[in-house]
Structure 1
Amino acid sequence: MEAFPVINMEILNGEGREAAMEKLRNACENWGFFEVVNHGISHELMDSVERLTKEHYKKFMEQRFKEMVASKGLEVVQSEINDLDWESTFFLRHLPSSNLSELPDLEDDYKKAMKEFAEDLEKLAEQLLDYLCENLGLEKGYLKKAFYGSKGPTFGTKVSNYPPCPRPELIKGLRAHTDAGGIILLFQDDKVSGLQLLKDGQWIDVPPLKHSIVINIGDQLEVITNGKYKSVMHRVIAQTDGNRMSIASFYNPGSDAVIYPAPALVEKEADHEQKQVYPKFVFEDYMKLYAGLKFQAKEPRFEAMKAMETPLNLGPIATV
């Protein structure tokens, strides 16, 4: 098995750029996942975010998690559980408006660090989208524009802790799924592993790498690239030791953004009889469908959106 792709962003911006862009293209086409290092986000800030996240879990969430486990009798389960994840989570919204000030348990230094971190991640997401545009042969800014909607993109963070689990063979930290949105940026624990992706029918570990950001492709990028880049099934394996931290930030289309394959890519594929294979839809409608089908295959979701195309009355894709 080839090594998990790690992209050094300093090289993307300097000498050796061509080889680095090729490595990025291969990661997007064949893995749906890659890690970036030298991404410009301060290591000091990342260390603060990690420390504050772990302190917040201990102070505000650990006891709640233990009570949930006790109330469901999960310490003594004997058979596999398929409708629950062994995780403790909360959500932050950054764009179009922030909810940081509304969350009662977040202390000021944590709010400040998360705000700064989210701003850096937003810039990194937009930078990466432009590299993707370049590799795809799309004009610079195309993907950002495709995500824009009337109020700009939606951007939010899921903060998760995966506590030690007594029976990891019976319950997943997080069940297998693809991500619904655009591009996902994950700051994961570099000591406790657990994230895996499905490649060529095998589950492969996403290696913990200090100060890296793991990137993966969401369903919306699969649609816009007409399947050239695909979202990939991934899961989190629960561990018997250690508490795994995971901070996943989702740079997604705006709720009213209309998502469809980029006409330039559809035309390019016309010679190969690929044509347009994905539907055209409003992102919010896809999210409503996804909410109930997250842990199922993505293809029926795309088919369901195709069936809704006529009532949406969005017309055919304009060709230029």
Structure 2
Amino acid sequence: MASFPVINLEKLNGDERGAVMEQINDACENWGFFEVVEHGIAPEFMEKVERLTKEHYRKCMEQRFNEMVASKGLEAVQSEIDDLDWESTFFLRHLPVSNISEIPDLDQEYKDVMREFAAKLEQLAEELLDLLCENLGLEKGYLKKAFHGSKGPTFGTKVSNYPPCPKPDLIKGLRAHTDAGGIILLFQDDKVSGLQLLKDSEWVDVPPMRHSIVINIGDQLEVITNGKYKSVMHRVIAQTDGTRMSLASFYNPGSDAVIYPAPALVDKEEQLYPKFVFEDYMKLYAGVKFQAKEPRFEAFKNLDATSTVATA
């Protein structure tokens, strides 16, 4: 098995740019995931985000999680649980309008830090999208524009903690799925592992690395690239020791953005994916998140076919 792709973004500024761009392209085509280091977000700032996130979990969420486990009798389960994830989460929306001020229990310092973190990640997401454009032969800004809709992209962070689990063989931290959206930027715990992706029918660990950010491709980028870049199944394995922190930030199309393969990428090939409105895709995804992605695309192909017939 080839080793998991770790990419030093600082090297884009020197003689190694061509090699780094090739690394990024290979990761997008063959892994659907890669890890970036030297990405421009200061290590001290990331440590602050991590400290405040872990403090907030201990102070405000740990007891609630333990009560949920007790009420469902999860510590004593004897058979595999397939309708529940062993995670404690809340969601921060950044774009088009932030909801950070409305989230209960967040102290002012944490709110301020998460706003700043979101701004840095938004910038990084847009830089990465332009690197993908360059590799794909699309004009600079194409992917950002494709995500724009009428109000700009949607962007939010799922803040998760995965506490120690007594039965990790029976309860997943997070069940296997592909991400519905655009490009995902993950700041994960560097001490407690658990994230795995499916490559060549095998589950591969995504290595926890200090101060790195894990990038993965969502379903919408698969559609826009006409399958050149693919979203891949991934999951979180619960651990018996340690609480794993995970901050997954989703840079997604706006709700009314119309998503379809980039014409420049289907000139000489068959268009493999349908055209749809992102919000419609999300409504479908909500009910089938933990199932294969292909039937989701097929459902919209069939819709596309019937609407074409109706207007013919």
Structure 1's consecutive aligned runs of 4 or more residues displaced over 4 angstroms after TM superposition are 310-313
Q: Which residues of 2 match residues 21-170 of structure 1 at below 5 A?
A: 21-170=21-170
Q: What per-residue deviation string (whole Å, max 9, x for no partner) do you get for residues 168-207 of structure 1? A: 0001000000000000000000000000000000000000
2 CA distance for matches of 1:145 and 1:28?
20
Label 1:312 to 1:39 Cα distance change in 2 as closer, same or farther (>3 A).
Answer: farther
Shift of 1:310: 5.0
Where does structure 1 lack aligned partners over 5 or more consecutive residues? none
What amino acid is aligned across from residue 29 of structure 1 in structure 2? Answer: E
1 CA distance for matches of 2:118 and 2:35?
18
Label 1:299 to 1:15 Cα distance change in 2 as closer, same or farther (>3 A).
Answer: same
2 CA distance for matches of 1:63 and 1:9?
40
2 CA distance for matches of 1:14 and 1:138?
23
Shift of 1:31: 0.2
2:274 corresponds, among 270, 274, 279, to: 279
2:299 corresponds, among 298, 304, 307, to: 304
Q: What per-residue deviation string (whole Å, max 9, x for no partner) do you get for residues 111-170 of structure 1? A: 011000000000000000000000000000000000000000000000000000000000
Matched position secondary structure for 1:203: strand
Shift of 1:306: 1.3
- The question of 1:233 aligning with 2:228 is answered no
Tell me how large the CA RMSD over aligned residues is: 1.4
2 CA distance for matches of 1:183 and 1:74?
34
Shift of 1:43: 1.0
Label 1:256 to 1:167 Cα distance change in 2 as closer, same or farther (>3 A).
Answer: same
Q: Which residues of 2 match residues 115-264 of structure 1 at below 5 A?
A: 115-264=115-264
2 CA distance for matches of 1:242 and 1:210?
16
For the Cα contact (< 8 Å) 1:281–1:312, is it kept in 2?
A: no
2 CA distance for matches of 1:219 and 1:255?
15
Where does structure 2 lack aligned partners over 5 or more consecutive residues? none
1 CA distance for matches of 2:151 and 2:56?
32
TM-score (norm 1): 0.95
1 CA distance for matches of 2:254 and 2:305?
22
1 CA distance for matches of 2:93 and 2:44?
23
TM-score (norm 2): 0.98
Number of equivalenced pairs? 311
